[in-house]
Chain A
Amino acid sequence: MAQPAPMAQPAPVTGEQVMAAARANEERKARSIWLHAWHDPVAGLKAYSPCVRMADISGDRDSKLLVAGSDRKLKIYKGTSLLSENVLLDAPVSICTFYPDANRPKLPSVAVAAGSNIFIYRNLRPYYKFPLPTLPVSPKEAAAWEGMRLGRTSIAEAKVALAAARESGVALTSVSQELVAADDEASAQQLVDEHKDLPLIRQTVCTCMEVLKREMEDEDAVSMLVVGTESGLALVLDPSGSTILVNVQLPSPPAFMAVGGLFTVDYRIVCACRNGNVYSIKNGELSGSVIELESMPCGLVRLDKSILVGCMTNVVHSFHLKGRKLYSIYLPAPITCMQLLAITKTRSIRALLVALSTGELRLYNEKHVVATLQFNEPITAIRFGCYGREDSALAVVGESGALTIKMMQRLADLEASTTPPGPPPEQDVPLSIPKKTKLYVEQTQREREQATEMHRVFQRDLCKMRLATARAYVKIITDGQGPMSYSAGSALRLTAQVQGLGPRFKIKLELQNSGSKVVTDMSATFTYNSMLYRLKKSVFAVPVLIPGLCYRLDADVEYVDENGGGADAIRVMVCSPKSSLPALSAIVNMPVSEGLFSQY
Chain B
Amino acid sequence: MGLFKRLFGQITPGKNKVRILCIGLDNSGKSTVINWLKPKKAMAQDVVPTVGFSVEEFTKNGLSFTVFDMSGQGRYRNLWEHYYKEVGGIIFCIDSTDHIRMCVAKDELDALLEHEELRSVPILFFANKMDLPQAVGPVQCVQNLELSKITDKPWHIAASNALTGEGIDEGITWLGTQMGRAARAK
Contacts and interface: CB of A to CB of B under 8 A. Distances in A.
Given A35-B103, A79-B100, 18 more contacts: A35-B107, A37-B100, A37-B101, A37-B102, A37-B103, A38-B100, A79-B98, A80-B99, A345-B75, A346-B75, A389-B26, A389-B27, A389-B98, A390-B74, A390-B100, A392-B74, A410-B74, A410-B104
Contacts of A409: 107
A343 B74 CA distance: 11
B101 A410 contact: no
Contacts of A410: 74, 77-78, 104, 107-108
Nearest to A78: B100
21 contacts: A35-B106, A35-B107, A36-B103, A37-B101, A37-B102, A38-B100, A79-B98, A79-B99, A80-B99, A345-B74, A345-B75, A388-B98, A388-B100, A388-B101, A389-B25, A389-B98, A392-B74, A410-B74, A410-B77, A410-B108, A411-B111
Contact of B100 (A345, A346, A405, A411): A405
Interface residues of B, number: 19
Contacts of A81: 134
A387 B74 contact: no
A366 interface: no
Nearest to B108: A410
Contact of A38 (B99, B108, B134): B99
The 9 closest A-B pairs by CB, nearest first: A35-B103, A346-B75, A80-B99, A346-B74, A79-B100, A37-B103, A388-B100, A37-B100, A35-B107
Contacts of B99: 38, 79-80
A260 B91 CA distance: 44
Interface in B38-68: none
Interface in A1-50: 35-38
Central interface residue in B25, B101, B134, by most chain A CB within 10 Å = B101
Interface string A541-582: 000000000000000000000000000000000000000000
B30 to A, nearest CB: 14
A479 interface: no
Interface in B14-30: 25-27
Contacts of A345: 74-75
B181 to A, nearest CB: 33
Interface in A361-405: 387-392, 405
Contacts of B102: 37
Contacts of B27: 389
A387 B101 CA distance: 10
A80 B135 CA distance: 12
A399 to B, nearest CB: 23
A38 B26 CA distance: 19
B119 to A, nearest CB: 21
A81 B97 CA distance: 12
A391 B74 CA distance: 8
Contacts of A389: 25-27, 98, 101
A38 B108 CA distance: 17
Contacts of B134: 81
Interface of B: 25-27, 74-75, 77-78, 98-104, 106-108, 111, 134
Interface of A: 35-38, 79-81, 345-346, 387-392, 405, 407, 409-411
A411 B25 CA distance: 15
Contacts of B101: 37, 388-390, 407
A339 B107 CA distance: 25
B113 to A, nearest CB: 15
A268 to B, nearest CB: 29
B18 to A, nearest CB: 28
B100 A387 contact: yes
A405 B99 CA distance: 12
Nearest to B97: A79
A391 B26 CA distance: 12
Contacts of B75: 345-346
Contacts of B108: 410
B74 A407 contact: no
A80 B74 contact: no
Contacts of A405: 100
Contacts of A407: 101, 103-104
A390 B77 CA distance: 13
A81 B134 CA distance: 10
A596 to B, nearest CB: 86
A346 B106 CA distance: 19
Nearest to B25: A389
Contacts of A390: 74, 100-101, 104
Contacts of B107: 35, 409-410
Contacts of A36: 103
Contacts of A346: 74-75
A389 B72 CA distance: 11
Given A346-B74, A389-B26, A80 B103 contact: no
Contacts of B106: 35
A599 B111 CA distance: 95
